[in-house]
Amino acid sequence: MRCFLCGAAVLKVDEHWDKSLAELMAEAGLRALEDSNLSTVDHVFVSNVYGERLQEQANLGTFLAEELGLKNVVATRVEAGGVSGLAALYSAATVVRSGLSKAAMVVGVEKMSDGTLEESISLMTMEERQEYIGSFGVSQLAEAALLYKEYMRRYKVGAESIAYFSVLSHENSSRCSHAQYQFKLSLESVMNSPMIAEPIHRLEATAPADGAAAIIVVSDDLAEKLDRTNCTLTGLGFSNDLPVAFDREDPLAMEAVSTAGRRALEMAGVSRSEVDFLELHESYSVMSPLMLEALGFTERGQACVKAEKGVFGLSGELPINTFGGLKGRGHPVGASGVYAVAEAFLQLVGEASKNQVAKAERGMVVSMAGLGAYAGAAVLEAVR
Amino acid sequence: MKPLTSRPPFYWRLRPFIYRLEGSRCSVCGHFHPLNRVVCRRCGSRTLERERLNNAGRLVNYTVVHQAQEGFEKTTPYLVGWVEMDDGTNLVGQLTDCDPQDLKVGMTIEMVVRKLRVDGDSNLIVYGVKFRPLVQR
């Protein structure tokens, strides 16, 4: 699976009251196209989760094509909960690799400011089984809190050690110009923020956000002709699990994440130790340690210890969430995976500015839907 | 847009599970599934039987929820428990008839049917399963 990423765009994650879903995706798409020096693409894939609920808009692929003045192109929306971005990348990579496409555009977009905070909690719960979880009056947030407590109990880890992952994310988002939250957080302020579902504090979860990001995927031939530094996509892996965490043998195992990560690394022929940075899907602070452990980057129960030693900082052994991740950069759900891929691209072409990871050769992006219901992983490598 | 969860047929269809914890048990491996199933998600068998779960179990863990989802704004703070029923099936649901200080991990709980919420538009009263600490009489 080798194809090239030759352009990317990231809009600031924000509450874009004055911009529509269509305007956001058009702006990101156009900027990525300009960045790639291409004049057009033949496929567009829109990654979006809540458009039909919040904007009552379906058929987003066609609307993006219209916004960009593209005619006679293949245009689809891709949805797989939190994995939507990587699922759209998978679509783009497979059409490019198969020869059906010379250049494909992936745009991730979400506009959550059209809803209330309560609605966003309900929207996240759409990744769970509504007929059971939703109808019992349980939210994904409450389930995440139960996993958090189980993690603390099983590994004898204090809440502060888990909350520290929010501090880490903000450390990186504080210097990122497209981040929702461009400021640092102290551990004290995280721990003093209101409890939203004990033991999860408000500053350990994401907030509703609007955003759009885009990438351009091209074939080997076309990449050679373009006057643009690019990076290669060398591995992709996906895997499902039982959607509701408490139905699994071990709700903390995150087996879908393990399998997706292993598959992506195997496809790329890369070992874990060769990964220079990692973009995670920390929809709640505890998801960072859970994912790091499921991916095998640390032993079970050891991620917090490593975090406190500085391993995951921007200049650490394995930087994570280099632009702030879901917590700091922001989590416009359908766009988040595309943001992570675009950020990995920026790292690998050396355009990450103040967030640059030194000597970044290989990066890995891991996304998950629900609390490990479905997972996707991508390995990207610099071209030298 | 009208939320799915305020559509009466949605709840009408779910009655066996959300009022009585009826689901499908695999005749081969014994795994219990909420709701109707045609294939066992654990072993892949296609022989499943309708079954009603036992009413009792134990509390594995719980949380106090302060940030509500839509329709639950007026019920915060509310309690959510992770319970293991007597047959080993794990479920999550709201806890009722108790305060957080009454709860102890491992305590016996039982299933009850309670009002969950009243839908704003149609005034549909939504009932469903909750769990409460079992009181010894």
Q: What is the pLDDT of residues A315-368, one digit of tens each?
A: 999 999 999 999 999 999 999 999 999 999 999 999 999 999 999 999 999 999
pLDDT of A354 reads 97
Contact B128, B18 (CB under 8 A): yes
pLDDT of B5 reads 61
| pLDDT at residue B1 tops 60 | no
Q: Do both A159 and A73 map to the same domain?
A: no
pLDDT of A59 reads 97
Q: Give the pLDDT confidence of B103-120 residue by residue, as tens digits.
A: 999 999 999 999 988 876
Number of domains chain B contains:
1
Angle between the A140-155 and A287-294 helix axes, to the nearest 10 degrees? 60
pLDDT of A305 reads 98
Q: Do both A44 and A185 map to the same domain?
A: no
Record the pTM: 0.97
Rounded mean pLDDT of A20-49?
97
The tokens of B137 are what? Answer: 């009489």
Q: Which residue of B has its CA nearest to A242?
A: B41
CA distance A305 to A296: 15
Q: Do both A181 and A218 map to the same domain?
A: no
Contact B93, B62 (CB under 8 A): no
Q: Give the pLDDT confidence of A68-105 residue by residue, as tens digits.
A: 999 999 999 999 999 999 999 999 999 999 999 999 99
B67, B85, B96, B117: best to mutate for the A interface, most A CBs within 10 A: B67
Range of weakest confidence among A197-211, A267-281, B111-125:
B111-125
Shortest distance, CA A332 to any CA of chain B (angstroms): 18
A339 Cβ contact partners less than 8 Å away, ≥ 6 residues apart: A10, A13, A85, A108, A211, A213, A323, A329, A332
Domain assignment of residue B96, given as a range: 4-133
A112, A129, A132, A255: best to mutate for the B interface, most B CBs within 10 A: A132
Q: Please report which confidence band the pLDDT of residue A218 belongs to, taking 50, 70 and 90 as the band edges.
A: very high
CA distance A264 to A262: 6
pLDDT of B49 reads 97
Which residues does A contribute to its contact with B (CB < 8 Å)? 53, 56, 116-119, 121-122, 125, 129-139, 141-143, 145-146, 149-150, 153, 194-199, 202, 242, 244, 246-247, 251
State in Å, rounded, how far the first CA of chain A is from the last one.
Answer: 18
From chain A, pick out residues whose CB is under 8 angstroms from the CB of B66: 194-198
Task: Tell which B residues from 38 to 97 touch A, by Cβ distance under 8 Å.
Answer: 41, 60-73, 75, 78, 80, 82, 90-94
Residue A120 lies inside a defined structural domain of this protein: no
The shortest CB-CB distance from B4 to any of A130, A141, A149 is to A130
The tokens of A99 are what? Answer: 């020869």
Q: Do both A284 and A226 map to the same domain?
A: no
Domain assignment of residue A192, given as a range: 127-206+232-382
Reported as type and span, the H/E element at residue B64 is: strand B56-65
What is the average pLDDT value for chain B, to the nearest integer?
Answer: 92
Q: Do both A102 and A132 map to the same domain?
A: no
Q: Please report which confidence band the pLDDT of residue A2 belongs to, taking 50, 70 and 90 as the band edges.
A: confident
Number of domains chain A contains:
2
Interchain contact, A146 vs B70, CB within 8 Å: no
Q: Do both A332 and A304 map to the same domain?
A: yes
The residue out of A174, A195, A230 marking a domain boundary is A230
Residue A122 lies inside a defined structural domain of this protein: no
B14, B82, B95: best to mutate for the A interface, most A CBs within 10 A: B82
Q: Give the pLDDT confidence of A158-188 residue by residue, as tens digits.
A: 999 999 999 999 999 999 999 999 999 999 9
Interchain contact, A202 vs B67, CB within 8 Å: yes
Q: Which residue of B has its CA nearest to A117?
A: B69
Shortest distance, CA A303 to any CA of chain B (angstroms): 23
In DSSP notation, A277-291 reads EEE---SBTTHHHHH
Q: Do both A223 and A263 map to the same domain?
A: no
Specify the length of chain B in residues: 137
Q: Do both A77 and A138 map to the same domain?
A: no
Q: Do both A134 and A40 map to the same domain?
A: no
| pLDDT at residue B122 tops 90 | no
B96 Cβ contact partners less than 8 Å away, ≥ 6 residues apart: B79, B112, B114, B130, B131, B132
Residue A223 lies inside a defined structural domain of this protein: yes
Q: Which residue of B has its CA nearest to A150?
A: B61
> How many cross-chain Cβ pairs, A to B, lie less than 8 Å apart?
117
Instruction: Name the E strands within chain A.
Output: 3-10, 43-47, 74-78, 103-111, 195-197, 200-201, 210-218, 231-240, 277-279, 362-369, 374-382
Q: Please report which confidence band the pLDDT of residue B100 belongs to, taking 50, 70 and 90 as the band edges.
A: very high
Contact A104, A43 (CB under 8 A): yes
Q: Please report which confidence band the pLDDT of residue A227 belongs to, taking 50, 70 and 90 as the band edges.
A: confident
Proportion of chain B above pLDDT 90, given as a percent: 77
Q: Do both A95 and A218 map to the same domain?
A: yes
pLDDT of B8 reads 83
Contact A136, B126 (CB under 8 A): no
A130 φ/ψ angles, rounded to the nearest 5 degrees: -55, -40
Rounded mean pLDDT of B58-79?
95
In DSSP notation, A357-372 reads PTT--EEEEEEEETTT
Q: Please report which confidence band the pLDDT of residue B3 belongs to, taking 50, 70 and 90 as the band edges.
A: low
Shortest distance, CA A139 to any CA of chain B (angstroms): 7
Contact A357, A322 (CB under 8 A): yes
| pLDDT at residue A384 tops 90 | no
Q: Do both A81 and A165 map to the same domain?
A: no
From chain B, pick out residues whose CB is under 8 angstroms from the CB of A122: 3, 69-71
pLDDT of B120 reads 67
Contact A315, A172 (CB under 8 A): no
Is B17 in the A-facing interface, judged by CB distances under 8 Å? yes
Q: Please report which confidence band the pLDDT of residue B137 belongs to, taking 50, 70 and 90 as the band edges.
A: low
CATH of the domain at A187: 3.40.47.10
From chain A, pick out residues whose CB is under 8 angstroms from the CB of B69: 118, 121-122, 125, 139, 141
Q: Do both A22 and A79 map to the same domain?
A: yes
| pLDDT at residue B136 tops 70 | no
Q: Is the ipTM of this complex over 0.90?
A: yes
B14, B41, B69, B111: best to mutate for the A interface, most A CBs within 10 A: B69
What is the average pLDDT value for chain A, to the nearest integer?
Answer: 97
